[in-house]
Amino acid sequence: MRAAPIERLSRVLRDELGLTGTKVGCDAGDCGACTVLIDGKAACSCLIAVGQLDSAQLDGATTEVTTVEGLGGYSANFEKLSAAFLQHGAAQCGICTPGMLVSATALLECNSAPDEAQVLDALGGVLCRCTGYRKIISAVLDASVNSTASRDAMCGAVDDRKISGTGINGNGAARQDVAPGVVGQRVPRIDGLRKINGTEIYGADEAPAGALTLRVIRSPYNHARFRFGDLAAFVASHPGIHAVFTAKDVPGKNCYGVIPDCADQPVFAEIEVRFRGEAVAAIVGEADAIDAFEPSNFPVEWEELPALTTIDAALDEDAPRVHANRAGNVLVRGRVVRGDVDAALRDADVVASLEVETGFVEHACIEPEAGFARRVGDRIEVQSCTQAPYMARKDIAAILGLPEGSVRILPTAVGGGFGTKLDLSVQPFLAVAAWHLRRPVRMIYSRPESIMATTKRHPARIRARAGAKRDGTLVAMDFQADFNTGAYASWGPTVAYRVPIHASGPYKVPNYRALTRAIHTHLVPAGAFRGFGVPQGTIAQEQLYDELAEKLGMDPLEFRILNALDDESPTVTGQIFGSGVGIRECFEALRSKWIAARAYAEAANSSGKGSLRRGVGVAGMWYGCGNTSLPNPSTMRVGLKRDGRIALHQGAVDIGQGSATVVTQICAEAIGAPLEKFDLLPADTDVTPDCGKTSASRQTFVSGTAASLAGTELRKAILRIADACECAQIEFGDGAITVEERGERRTISLCDLSLDARGYVVSAEATFDPPTSPLNSDGQGNPYAVYGFGAHMVEVSVDMELGTVQVLKITAAHDVGRAINPTLVEGQIEGGAAQGLGFALMEEFFPGKGENLHDYLIPSAGDIPPVESILIEDPSPIGPFGAKGVGEQALIPTAPAILNAIYHATGVRIRRIPATPDRVRAEILAAAAAGVRNG
């Protein structure tokens, strides 16, 4: 192999040598996913030209380059690190894992007993968006020679009340009723090894031989008209470019969207673009020609038009419509009303009010969107990263004008999703091109393209008031929120409908009015991002309740405990659960730590010198699992094979949260089979039934229940073959099962048994659709069958001179119903808390600026404090083994708890999020000036 000296080492490793364990997240030295060892030193391979090595001829070079694939042969430390990463659950989506492992190996090679600061330093150049880093740090410390001491040092992140395998129930008492099995066990994730050894296949890691490359031509303007030049002449004059595709080449509907009634986004814009980054055309050709092409040379003329870039501009009565059929630029309105809020606020003893604003937040998945498509006869196959294979199948079928059965979606591993990979990205372009060209076509979004063109968290402007009686009882809340949903609908309706249901928080609020709007602007579409708008609403609501508590002279935690929702009280939609409402237990689990931390902070502040002030804040959260009052089914299929193994058609896409492992644990428990006997068939619309999308914290609850039902049915079917009763034990052997019943054992050979229509000895399929009810015009009804609950306590230090905020510790109590796999649950909590910290303090995307990972900052390892997880298990009556979701729940309370902690430390409220140092400092100065004015 001979590479041009100017080639990036990362590209040569991946494309020329097939070493795809080295990942590319930015091509700019920002993410560290491409880290390799060069003569034993960790370095970003995307920043190194092969000519910088001793020789451009790698296989004869004297410089030694070691990738994740070669770490095992390079260092004995790799084996220890691998085991520790598996045990700690340090790999979630796994896209950062090779970079982490390479960096950790380099560290241990030169320092076999690092302390935590040295580990942080070594890992500081590799970004992880999933884990919150703490489990990675613990794993590296565990792999070091002084691992026992290291583990002890890490125990700030571990609490003696935390569950270990069996758990505590809502009263904090040890569970007595846990059957032996795999549910509740800290088993390593099923796909963990592939993520660690670099063999996992992500969107960019695979394409058929001879695949062409596609690049999208995008609008440089927020709003513009455009006209193409001579496209045929363009192709003819560009050797290596085979074709150009535009809207007229879309065989079916040039329109898609995640919510069918609101679908409005074209594959390629026609005449007019509505946001910077919108696609107008795609060029397809040989990789070299496409890579070398400068998009500004594409023959298109732009006429820039005035753009609506703010909520106020879009709501102006003279504003032009972003979409002709949406009056006032309002996409949808949400509404939940209960009681008489105006009268209750009038009669309240105290009332607090506020206005809060948040900005766009970028998902910053370390894996940019990528995949390939190929035409197979009259079918199209699309392999790419996605959170929603069946939704993608439906939209691609419509775009190509094909029946859904003619489209096959093969999800790859997903290197972080968090909601943004629910929407289509590369898939429609690839499908259109491969369909016409009858050749496979691949594409990988660049980092700027990914940031520019994919969905964001909705910016929000929220006004709210709440009132309480003198005894602290909440009596009313009045909440209004406008969400900037950008140019196209995406998940705007979901946000507008979900937020009013949740804006009360997990509290008893008898009089309530929550009104929301999703507003179109000429900016990038806002979509789903871990919480569907609830994190923004909770920032307002949890600060508001803090202010009410202060006006009442009450402790903020006790105010929340007093008003916490319980099993028998109606929610703001009138739903009464009867059981499984564990929010009070979450708050009570924080009480002793809260008292100690508040006392310590106040003592430190009163005696403190210098500019640092400490603060402690708390916030609560609830979050409905699954779709809002809509059908939300998941189907699981499981079959016993003649070799005695169990095939699980597991179509719940694992985006790092661990659904493949958790669903298998649930199914194994239902059957009474060991995990080692399972063969997983991962999501593939030709092979796995529809498990719905991976969103709304639904997979453990919905797909887990389907897996439990299917497993139970399979167990019954097996027992029927053996003519055994339900209490019998089943052993799964090689090509046989043995059934033990009342002391008798019978072995049944499976080899000669006939197969059923699905190709198994016996099989079962089960569907679960959570019981919900439609909401009436006042938003009353049962929107979700199950909610998850949680409360975070955050300790901060604020520099009053600089406005900088350091988060010192997060204590997170979550009612997860039943922790199917406590390690994975903790991973979700730690990762969610890290994203919540970024949301509170540093993350804001300004369209057109900072479309990279050095201007758009996400938390790095050094930003994340110890996170203490406290798992409460107040079982859901319908979740599998009592389980509820935790994926989105984990992010929601962190930001408001931080903001309340900043107030405790400084006495100032931050109304514009994120609380960057300039904003914090400005509020401190304003408060000081007001204090002087007021004497």
**Site of interaction with ligand FES (CB under 6 A):** 24-27, 29-34, 44, 46, 91-96, 128-131, 366, 416, 656
Under 8 Å CB-to-CB from 475, ≥6 apart: which residues?
A: 344, 345, 347, 348, 467, 468, 469, 509, 510, 511
| Residue 860 Cβ vs ligand FES, minimum distance, rounded to whole Å | 12
Output the DSSP codes for 145-163.
TTHHHHHHHGGGG--TTS-
Q: Is the CB of 636 or the CB of 858 nearer to ligand FES?
A: 858
Dist CA 738 CA 904 (whole Å): 63
| Residue 185 Cβ vs ligand FES, minimum distance, rounded to whole Å | 22
Q: Is the CB of 495 or the CB of 886 nearer to ligand FES?
A: 886
3-state secondary structure of 120: helix
Q: Is the CB of 46 or the CB of 424 nearer to ligand FES?
A: 46
CB 550 within 8 A of CB 780: no
Dist CA 438 CA 456 (whole Å): 34
Q: Is the CB of 266 or the CB of 682 nearer to ligand FES?
A: 682
Dist CA 931 CA 40 (whole Å): 58
Strand arrangement, sheet containing 612-624 = 612-624, 787-799, 805-815, 867-872
CB 648 within 8 A of CB 635: no
Q: Is the CB of 128 or the CB of 618 nearer to ligand FES?
A: 128
| Residue 135 Cβ vs ligand FES, minimum distance, rounded to whole Å | 9
Q: Is the CB of 130 or the CB of 444 nearer to ligand FES?
A: 130
Both tokens assigned to 851:
């479309």
Q: Is the CB of 130 or the CB of 791 nearer to ligand FES?
A: 130
Dist CA 387 CA 694 (whole Å): 5
Both tokens assigned to 268:
């390629």
Under 8 Å CB-to-CB from 400, ≥6 apart: which residues?
A: 251, 252, 380, 406, 407, 431, 432, 435
Both tokens assigned to 26:
């930015």
Cα(first)–Cα(last) distance of the chain, in Å?
Answer: 77
3-state secondary structure of 876: coil
| Residue 707 Cβ vs ligand FES, minimum distance, rounded to whole Å | 24
Dist CA 142 CA 98 (whole Å): 18
CB 892 within 8 A of CB 787: no
Pairing of strands 612-624, 867-872: unpaired
Counting Cβ atoms within 10 Å, is residue 752 exposed (0-12), middle (13-18) or buried (19+)? exposed
| Residue 100 Cβ vs ligand FES, minimum distance, rounded to whole Å | 7
Q: Is the CB of 585 or the CB of 843 nearer to ligand FES?
A: 843
Q: Is the CB of 95 or the CB of 341 nearer to ligand FES?
A: 95
CB 443 within 8 A of CB 433: no
Q: Is the CB of 130 or the CB of 636 nearer to ligand FES?
A: 130
| Residue 183 Cβ vs ligand FES, minimum distance, rounded to whole Å | 24
Q: Is the CB of 26 or the CB of 474 nearer to ligand FES?
A: 26
C-alpha distances out from residue 478 to 185, 335, 474, 575, 778, Å = 44, 11, 12, 19, 14
Counting Cβ atoms within 10 Å, is residue 626 exposed (0-12), middle (13-18) or buried (19+)? buried
C-alpha distances out from residue 919 to 617, 734, 804, 840, Å = 19, 65, 10, 12
| Residue 114 Cβ vs ligand FES, minimum distance, rounded to whole Å | 20
| Residue 603 Cβ vs ligand FES, minimum distance, rounded to whole Å | 38
Alpha helices in 133-285 (DSSP H): 134-143, 147-153, 192-197, 231-236
C-alpha distances out from residue 727 to 169, 814, 827, 850, 935, Å = 27, 34, 35, 62, 79
| Residue 524 Cβ vs ligand FES, minimum distance, rounded to whole Å | 22
Cα dihedral 192→194→195→200 (10° resolution): -140
Q: Is the CB of 96 or the CB of 217 nearer to ligand FES?
A: 96
Q: Is the CB of 162 or the CB of 195 nearer to ligand FES?
A: 195
Q: Is the CB of 657 or the CB of 664 nearer to ligand FES?
A: 657
| Residue 547 Cβ vs ligand FES, minimum distance, rounded to whole Å | 37
| Residue 757 Cβ vs ligand FES, minimum distance, rounded to whole Å | 39
| Residue 104 Cβ vs ligand FES, minimum distance, rounded to whole Å | 13
| Residue 490 Cβ vs ligand FES, minimum distance, rounded to whole Å | 23
| Residue 641 Cβ vs ligand FES, minimum distance, rounded to whole Å | 32
Q: How many separate helices (H) and strands (E) can be counted in the chain? A: 24, 29
| Residue 396 Cβ vs ligand FES, minimum distance, rounded to whole Å | 26
| Residue 458 Cβ vs ligand FES, minimum distance, rounded to whole Å | 23
Dist CA 631 CA 908 (whole Å): 44
């090509």: which residue's tokens?
Answer: 735
Q: Is the CB of 95 or the CB of 902 nearer to ligand FES?
A: 95
Q: Is the CB of 716 or the CB of 854 nearer to ligand FES?
A: 854
CB 1 within 8 A of CB 824: no
Question: Residue 881: what residue type?
Answer: F
Q: Is the CB of 32 or the CB of 626 nearer to ligand FES?
A: 32
Dist CA 118 CA 447 (whole Å): 29
| Residue 838 Cβ vs ligand FES, minimum distance, rounded to whole Å | 13
